[in-house]
């Protein structure tokens, strides 16, 4: 801890001419307590200040910089990078005590989010700030507003006003399978067998490879192969888990986290054992306050009474701060290290030079969720599912104009038309199937005429789309693909980290051209090509997909026609 300044006046000079308010320094020290002042904890410490004061005052940032032996610029650039940090300069007015965020991404926009925002701004009184927000991971309950940390599903002005009036700002904790119940159902026996030497690491990795399990966060890299690659690099190794599912339309990780968290945790522990990782880092998006509470509580139980009798490896829970880009693995690693979430140039890849420069196994939560079942029941169990020649199971987040939106476990290769009819109860009354996003905002847009395509990795590539995280957004004849594509591009514009020019400028310029009404195909296609070819990471590379799909499948909308989504 830094030494208390000895000057008796109110402020003391520190390096680079920055003044530190002594009371602010005492406030910061009290909030941090005995927590280490390491650089990688910068974002965690910023959260403590934001939670306590509702914003990040300049005097507290200066005090934190002094306490952590960082420059003010280092702290400021991180604090201003993330949406959920409210940085207030000395001459600025702090935000109101309470913030209401209304999701305005694709599913919520179709459900009336923009009308809800206007109504709330007109009706809610002083002391409350109403802001549009990117996807909050509750698309099946659209439209969604978040009062403080409390998500209001199927939000109406009255329901939001009630939560504001009653100061219902904490996220309710859903019922879930806790440690005792999970263990009673056979949980952690597999992990205990691994620790006891009853399982061989090569055998477990082979089971993952033979199952064909691929990364379920969007990229789809073979899981078992990734484990094998990480093991080739010298120790020490680390494991990083990404629960920052910010793709519009995606909410499956939240569903599993809030219902059966230990199945994922056991998979994580088995993965760490298989690659001989020395520590695990779990990165969870800030919007998932209930999931964060569950993980904190259940990890404490695990540490107090570890199954198998051996101490757990160090497990660190890190809280995101509102940045879609941190769903990209290297951006997440930068954020865990206490930096801005900017993707790294590759090579080297994360498996070789990852978290803190060490070889790192990185997975999204759902991938690890399947480890126990595949190893216990064998890869042939997993591959026994599937349709149209595809193998395995897929968890689909389905939202939009269907009767029963939600999370559905279905065979790989199922079509969206089958998902709608067999799982979602059909389309909403008065709505006809017109088109769909097969992989969230970045996965492209397909018309109803292609509603029988098998949904799986690689099957949609010839059509200019991909399944990604299996976020299915269904829209009807009452929607226009052109408008939904513009919503997606505005999302990408807002969420671009700004590191590379093709993405930073390309998304902004594309959204501007699309908003003009008459799309300039030549200019937009030129932008799409540059973004796809020259962007550093998947955000800029995939941002053109909705634009190109509108030109390819919904060109009639650009001509003022509407023919039911037929290409």
Strand 433-437 versus strand 446-447 pairing type:
antiparallel
For residue 471, what pLDDT is reported?
A: 97
Q: What is the pLDDT of residue 309?
A: 83
Distance between CA atoms of 510 and 508, rounded to whole angstroms? 5
8 Å CB contact between 47 and 320: no
- Return the structure tokens found at 236: 């020490």
Are 290 and 172 in contact by the 8 Å Cβ rule? The answer is yes
Radius of gyration from C-alpha coordinates of the chain = 24
**For residue 496, is pLDDT > 90?**
yes
Contact between 204 and 213 under an 8 Å Cβ cutoff? The reply is no
End-to-end alpha-carbon separation of the chain, Å? 65
Question: For the chain, what is the mean pLDDT?
Answer: 94
**Residue whose entry in the numeric block shows the structure tokens 């920052």:** 244
Q: What is the pLDDT of residue 16?
A: 57
Confidence of residue 2 (pLDDT cuts 50, 70, 90): very low
Residue 125 or residue 464, greater confidence: 464
With cut-offs at 50, 70 and 90, classify the pLDDT of residue 308: confident
Give just the sign of the alpha carbon dihedral 288, 293, 296, 298.
Answer: negative
pLDDT of residue 17: 60
What is the predicted pLDDT for the residue at 448?
Answer: 98
pLDDT confidence of 127, banded at 50, 70, 90? confident
Angle of the 544-553 helix axis to the 521-534 helix axis, nearest 10:
140
Q: In angstroms, rounded to a whole number, what is the distance separating the alpha carbons of residues 155 and 371? A: 36
pLDDT tens for residues 418-458? 999 999 999 999 999 999 999 999 999 999 999 999 999 99
Q: Given this model, what pLDDT does residue 245 score?
A: 94
pLDDT of 307: 86
Asked if residue 52 has a cis previous peptide bond (ω within 30° of 0), the answer is no
Count other C-beta atoms under 10 Å from residue 38's C-beta: 12
pLDDT at 565 over 50: no
pLDDT in tens, 213-248: 999 988 889 999 999 999 999 999 999 999 999 999
Q: Is the pLDDT of residue 544 over 60?
A: yes
C-beta of residue 554 within 8 angstroms of C-beta of residue 481: yes
What pLDDT, on a 0 to 100 scale, did the predictor assign at position 12?
64
Q: What is the mean pLDDT of residues 290-306?
A: 96
Mean pLDDT on 15-19: 65
Contacts of residue 410, Cβ cutoff 8 Å, sequence gap at least 6:
393, 394, 396, 419, 422, 423
- pLDDT value at 310 more than 90: no
Q: Where residue 10 falls among pLDDT bands split at 50, 70, 90? A: low
**Main-chain dihedrals φ then ψ at residue 433, nearest 5 degrees:** -60, 120
Stronger pLDDT, 559 or 297, i.e. the higher one: 297
Using alpha carbons only, give the angle 90, 92, 95 rounded to the nearest 5 degrees. 120
In terms of phi and psi (left: phi > 0; alpha: psi -120 to 50; beta: otherwise), the region of 35 is: beta
Q: What is the pLDDT of residue 379?
A: 97
Query: Which residues pair with residue 98 across a beta bridge?
Result: 128
| In the predicted structure, residue 3 carries a pLDDT above the cut 90 | no
- The helix/strand/coil state of 284 is strand
Q: What is the DSSP letter of 18?
A: -
Distance (Å, whole) CA 385 – CA 367: 17
What pLDDT is stored for residue 562 in this prediction?
Answer: 43
Q: What is the pLDDT, as a whole number, of residue 9?
A: 46
Question: Residue 237: beta bridge partners?
Answer: 277
Tens of pLDDT, residue by residue over 317-327, are 999 999 999 99
Cα–Cα dist 18/71, whole Å:
9
Residue 7 has pLDDT above 60, yes or no: no
The 10s digit of each residue's pLDDT in 271-283 is 999 999 999 999 9
Query: What pLDDT shows up at residue 450?
Result: 98
373-401 average pLDDT score: 97
Distance between CA atoms of residues 180 and 170, nearest Å? 26
> Is the pLDDT higher at 125 or at 401?
401
How open is the CA angle 341-275-235, to the nearest 5 degrees? 80
């Amino acid at each position: 801890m830094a030494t208390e300044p000895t000057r008796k006046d109110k402020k003391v000079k520190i390096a680079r001419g920055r003044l530190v308010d002594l009371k602010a320094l005492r406030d910061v020290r009290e909030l941090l307590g005995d927590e280490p002042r390491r650089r990688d904890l910068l974002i965690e410490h910023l959260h403590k200040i934001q939670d306590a004061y509702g914003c990040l005052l300049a005097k507290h940032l200066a005090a934190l910089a002094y306490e952590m032996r960082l420059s003010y610029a280092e702290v400021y650039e991180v604090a201003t990078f993330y949406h959920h940090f409210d940085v207030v300069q000395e001459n600025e007015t702090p935000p109101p005590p309470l913030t209401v965020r209304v999701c305005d991404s694709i599913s919520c926009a179709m459900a009336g989010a923009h009308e809800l925002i206007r109504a709330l701004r007109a009706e809610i009184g002083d002391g409350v700030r109403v802001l549009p927000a990117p996807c909050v991971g509750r698309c099946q309950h659209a439209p969604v507003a978040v009062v403080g940390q409390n998500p209001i599903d199927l939000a109406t002005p009255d329901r939001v006003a009630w939560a504001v009036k009653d100061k219902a700002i904490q996220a309710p904790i859903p019922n879930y399978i806790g440690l005792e119940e999970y263990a009673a159902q056979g949980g952690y026996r597999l992990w205990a067998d691994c620790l006891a030497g009853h399982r061989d690491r090569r055998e477990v990795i082979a089971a993952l490879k033979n199952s064909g399990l691929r990364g379920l966060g969007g990229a789809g890299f073979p899981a078992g192969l990734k484990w094998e690659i990480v093991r080739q690099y010298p120790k020490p190794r680390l494991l990083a888990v990404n629960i920052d599912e910010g793709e519009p339309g995606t909410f499956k990780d939240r569903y599993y986290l809030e219902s059966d968290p230990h199945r994922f945790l056991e998979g994580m522990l088995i993965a760490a054992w298989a690659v001989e990782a020395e520590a695990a880092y779990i990165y969870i998006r800030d919007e998932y306050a209930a999931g964060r509470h569950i993980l904190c509580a259940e990890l404490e139980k695990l540490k107090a009474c570890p199954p198998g009798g051996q101490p757990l490896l160090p497990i660190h829970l890190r809280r995101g701060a509102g940045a879609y880009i941190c769903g990209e693995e290297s951006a997440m690693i930068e954020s865990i290290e206490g930096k801005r979430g900017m993707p790294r140039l590759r090579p080297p890849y994360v498996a070789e030079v990852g978290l803190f420069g060490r070889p790192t196994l990185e997975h999204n939560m759902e991938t690890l969720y399947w480890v126990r079942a595949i190893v216990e029941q064998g890869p042939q169990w997993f591959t026994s599912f599937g349709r149209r020649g595809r193998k395995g199971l897929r968890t689909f987040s389905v939202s939009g104009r269907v009767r029963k939106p939600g999370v559905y476990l279905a065979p790989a290769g199922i079509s969206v038309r089958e998902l709608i009819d067999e799982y979602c109860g059909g389309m909403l009354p008065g709505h006809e199937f017109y088109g769909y996003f097969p992989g969230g905002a970045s996965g492209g847009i397909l018309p109803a005429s292609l509603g029988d395509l098998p949904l799986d990795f690689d099957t949609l590539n010839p059509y200019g789309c991909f399944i990604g995280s299996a976020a299915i957004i269904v829209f009807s004849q009452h929607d226009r693909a052109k408008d939904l594509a513009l919503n997606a591009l505005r999302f990408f514009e807002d969420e671009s980290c700004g590191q590379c020019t093709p993405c930073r400028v390309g998304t902004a310029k594309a959204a501007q051209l699309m908003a003009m009404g008459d799309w300039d195909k030549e200019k937009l296609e030129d932008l799409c090509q540059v973004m796809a070819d020259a962007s550093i990471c998947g955000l800029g590379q995939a941002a053109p997909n909705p634009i190109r799909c509108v030109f390819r499948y919904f060109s009639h909308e650009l001509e003022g026609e509407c023919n039911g989504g037929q290409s």
